[in-house]
């Protein structure tokens, strides 16, 4: 008697009756690769199988090489379009010594120039070199400049031109320094 009273008050008798009358739902398999679209979603359907092939591991080295090459290209483009490279190229064009060696129409030797070295203006270190050409010959221009402390100006230490035959010509004169602050 006590148990029937408790089941009536808590509603367990109704729950037992509902569970007896409810249709039994079976598990539905996940859709396969060539089956049609899933038209209805049920919470009790089977989970799809996990794809365990590791085909991406074969293409990862190729991806890493492509990202690395793009990174080097972007950093080189940033160097080649900087004001330091533009200024040194302009100073090279206006230098009588460089025009005598290279000839007229001084520009980068390659269509896509490769700027070698460090260009860290924030920390005061510039040491770059790149190939240039004129109407007479080609040469490798080197420019090195440092800033001793944060509040001082850059001091040019080297500005030279090395020709193809190995001759190094110092273009930096203390009297006519094109990079000196006016």
Q: pLDDT-derived band of residue 4, with 50, 70 and 90 as boundaries? A: low
Q: pLDDT-derived band of residue 36, with 50, 70 and 90 as boundaries? A: confident
CA-based nearest residue to 48, from 65, 60, 32: 32
pTM of the full structure = 0.64
pLDDT tens for 78-115 read 999 999 999 999 999 998 989 999 998 999 999 989 99
Q: Which helix (H) or strand (E) holds 78?
A: helix 56-80
Average pLDDT, the chain: 82
Q: pLDDT-derived band of residue 172, with 50, 70 and 90 as boundaries? A: confident
Cβ proximity of 79 and 72 under 8 Å: no
Task: Collapse the DSSP code of 153 into the 3-class scheme (helix H, G, I; strand E, B; otherwise coil) and give the result.
Answer: coil
What is the secondary structure of 47-74 as a DSSP string? PPPPP---THHHHHHHHHHHHHHHHHHH
Percent of the chain with pLDDT over 90: 45
Q: pLDDT-derived band of residue 14, with 50, 70 and 90 as boundaries? A: low
Task: Collapse the DSSP code of 163 into the 3-class scheme (helix H, G, I; strand E, B; otherwise coil) and give the result.
Answer: strand
Q: What is the pLDDT, as a whole number, of residue 8?
A: 59
Which of residues 23 and 121 earns the better pLDDT score? 121
């Amino acid at each position: 008697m006590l148990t029937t009273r408790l089941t009536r008050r808590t509603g367990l008798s109704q729950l037992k009756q509902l569970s007896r009358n409810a249709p039994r739902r079976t598990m539905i398999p996940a859709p396969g690769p060539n089956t049609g679209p899933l038209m209805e979603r049920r919470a009790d359907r089977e989970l799809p199988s996990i794809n365990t092939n590791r085909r991406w591991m074969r293409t990862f080295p190729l991806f890493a090489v492509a990202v690395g090459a793009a990174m080097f290209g972007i950093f080189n483009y940033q160097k080649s379009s900087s004001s330091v490279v533009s200024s040194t190229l302009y100073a090279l064009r206006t230098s009588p010594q460089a025009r005598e060696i290279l000839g007229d129409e001084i520009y980068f030797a390659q269509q896509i120039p490769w700027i070698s070295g460090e260009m860290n203006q924030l920390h005061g270190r510039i040491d770059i070199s790149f190939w240039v050409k004129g109407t007479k010959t080609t040469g490798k221009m080197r420019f090195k400049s440092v800033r001793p402390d944060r509040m001082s100006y850059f001091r040019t230490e080297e500005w030279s031109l090395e020709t193809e035959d190995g001759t190094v010509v110092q273009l930096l004169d203390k009297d006519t320094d094109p990079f000196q602050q006016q």
